Chain A
Amino acid sequence: MKLSIIIGAFSQGLMWSILALGVFITYKILDFADLTTEGAYPLGAAVAASGIIAGMNPFLATFLAMICGMAAGFVTGFLNTKLKIPPLLSGILAMTGLYSVNLRIMGKANIPLLKVSTLITFVTGLGIKNNIAVIIVGLVSVSIVIAILTWFLSTEKGYALRATGDNMSMIRALGVNTNGMVILGLSIGNGLVSLSGGIMAQYNGYADIGMGTGTIVIGLASVIIGEVLFGSSSILRSLISVVFGSIIYRIIIAVVLAKGLVPTDVKLLSSVLLAVCLSLPLFKEKISALTDTLHSAKKVKARKAGEQNA
């Protein structure tokens, strides 16, 4: 295994982790399985790439990508709360609609970003090598996102958002307009997903209409791997776990690719990986039940032995 592959996986994981943090907000905090992700990710890429091609400052273009993602999340929230369409369907509607929107924004299926100034060329322009620049862009953006999320989730509004996903009828009884909270959570989540898409387009050097396929699976897998391996005892801990989860996910993919897996099979692998992760709690239970019985059996044996000795 070459070190460069691991470093590449690490920097990719950092950028993907912004998407995973968005999925964390919708799936974990809001308890909303949100397929808007699949449309919001290429939306972010489309907006950032089109903006940059049109000569926009890359920081501004990236920021604009995030705002557009928030608008997409708003629409999904509106469909769900005001029009009473179930979460899964609301997400599918938004995702499908976004496909056309993204094509309109891009004007074609693929926009290459060659010889234009991006977030990454901004850092390399400071005299830093490309592979380090990529990591810097990833680290800085992830740190900013985590700092803002940690702060927000500990405010009064943040509490209300968490409680909306946890126990909606309870927080409504405490005077919170839960519809507004669902819309807010979906806006934040998809804003992050689009931000991730915008940054990734600059990293990859292109925006592609098909780049959203499978992103929800990647996001969920990162969130769950992170939670299982690194815990979720506090908000900050949970957020950092998501980032680690995302990096580990990328490393797993990089390793199997290096071992000769065909790139087109990666999505199947992703699904299998997520299925395994999702069923982990079940296995955990079974295993702990098994060890419990083994343990008590041992105890009984020990006690019997003790009695015999006495």
Chain B
Amino acid sequence: MSRMLDMINVRKIFSKGTANEKMALDRVNFSMDEADFVTVIGGNGAGKSTILNAIAGLFFVDSGKIIIDGHDVTKLPEHKRAKYIGRVFQDPRMGTATNMSIEENLAMALRRGQKRGLKKGITHDEKDKFRTYLEELDLGLENRMSEKAGLLSGGQRQAVTLIMATMTKPKLLLLDEHTAALDPKTAKKVLDLTRKIVAEDKLTALMVTHNMRDAIKYGNRLMMMHNGNVLLDLKEEKKKNLEVGDLLMMFEKASGQDMSNDRVLLS
């Protein structure tokens, strides 16, 4: 099995040298093998989003190395890492260009990381391909391909964004609470779709969630963060029979803190 991600001693300090200085990642060491599906939990401000943003290159880290599929991307700007990474964000509006049509959005995603020239932005063959993708979603979007993405509901947009993020089979799929803004029923639909796509395409995925049950239910590994550190990293066998109560106990033992202070984690 090949290594897909290596984070070596990664450190990120925000607002360095000011009163608001914040150590968001404190020498994080973390690796993922191909087809690993890691769920990430942790309280507010634990550093979950920061770890994903560091991988995607929204900012450069202060020290350490980030290696994706053997390529050292530590110094690469965001748009040059894009060819390795698919992302879905928490806010459904973040994932699509709202004034462009669904098919135009999909066509742009199909060209992730490629040079964009003066060829047609979308071809007939591509439209057919998109139609089959959308049919699989079973949301009726295959008949609305030329409508603006801004007209879609939050759940529909997340489903489309998920397709956009995975269509080119990225080395890494980064999901940051991508169902947090949805109602429970839609959230479950999008999560199941996520699981299906990740399994079918054997994607390597990192999924942040605030829901402990989801964190246990989905994926083959579970990571818990606290104060910019990776507190727990449970693999296959250990994760399988895990229950919410176990997680809470482990958290208290590892952090020396009472979990009940961290209300959100329990939801």
Measuring CB to CB, which residues of chain A are less than 8 angstroms from any residue of chain B? 152, 154-160, 162-163, 166-167, 169-178
Contact = CB atoms under 8 A, between A and B. Distances in A.
B135 to A, nearest CB: 23
Interface in B84-102: 85, 87, 93-100
Interface centre among B79, B80, B85 (most CB of A within 10 A): B79
Nearest to B86: A173
Contact of A155 (B94, B96, B113, B120): B120
A15 to B, nearest CB: 28
B97 A166 contact: yes
B217 interface: no
Nearest to B119: A156
Given A166-B97, A175-B79, A175-B83, 8 more contacts: A155-B118, A157-B118, A160-B116, A163-B97, A167-B94, A167-B98, A172-B82, A174-B111
10 contacts: A155-B118, A159-B108, A167-B98, A173-B85, A174-B82, A174-B109, A174-B111, A174-B113, A175-B80, A178-B79
Interface residues on B, range: 20 to 34
A169 B99 CA distance: 15
A202 B80 CA distance: 46
B121 interface: yes
Nearest to B111: A156
B116 A173 contact: no
A21 B80 CA distance: 32
A60 B99 CA distance: 37
Given A159-B104, A174-B82, A166 B118 contact: no
A170 B100 CA distance: 12
A59 to B, nearest CB: 24
Contacts, number: 80
Contacts of B118: 152, 155-157
A182 to B, nearest CB: 13
B96 A171 contact: no
A171 B108 contact: yes
B151 to A, nearest CB: 13
B115 to A, nearest CB: 8
Given A163-B100, A175-B80, A177-B79, A169 B116 contact: no
B108 A157 contact: no
A155 B98 CA distance: 18
A157 B109 contact: no
B53 to A, nearest CB: 11
Interface of B: 56, 77-80, 82-83, 85, 87, 93-100, 104, 107-109, 111-114, 116-122, 164
Nearest to B95: A170
B97 A157 contact: no
Contacts of A169: 94
Contacts of A159: 100, 104, 107-108, 116, 121-122
A175 B73 CA distance: 14
Contacts of B80: 175
A170 B85 contact: no
B99 A162 contact: yes
A167 B80 CA distance: 18
A154 B118 CA distance: 9
Contacts of B83: 175
Contacts of A177: 77, 79
B108 A173 contact: no
B96 A170 contact: yes
A241 to B, nearest CB: 15
B112 A175 contact: yes
Nearest to B98: A166
B100 A174 contact: no
A173 B56 CA distance: 8
Most buried by A among B82, B93, B108, B114: B108
Nearest to B148: A233
B101 to A, nearest CB: 10
A171 B78 CA distance: 11
Nearest to A151: B118
A156 B120 contact: yes
A176 B116 contact: yes
A160 B111 CA distance: 10
Contact of B121 (A154, A167, A170, A173): A154
Interface hub of B78, B95, B114 (most chain A Cβ within 10 A):
B78
B100 A162 contact: yes
Which residue among A157, A169, A176 has the maximum number of chain B CB atoms within 10 Å of its CB?
A176
B78 A155 contact: no
Nearest to A155: B118
A155 B121 contact: yes
A166 B114 contact: no
Instruction: Please name the 7 residue pairs, one residue from A and one from B, whose CB atoms are nearest each other, closest first.
Output: A175-B82, A166-B97, A156-B116, A159-B121, A175-B113, A163-B97, A167-B97
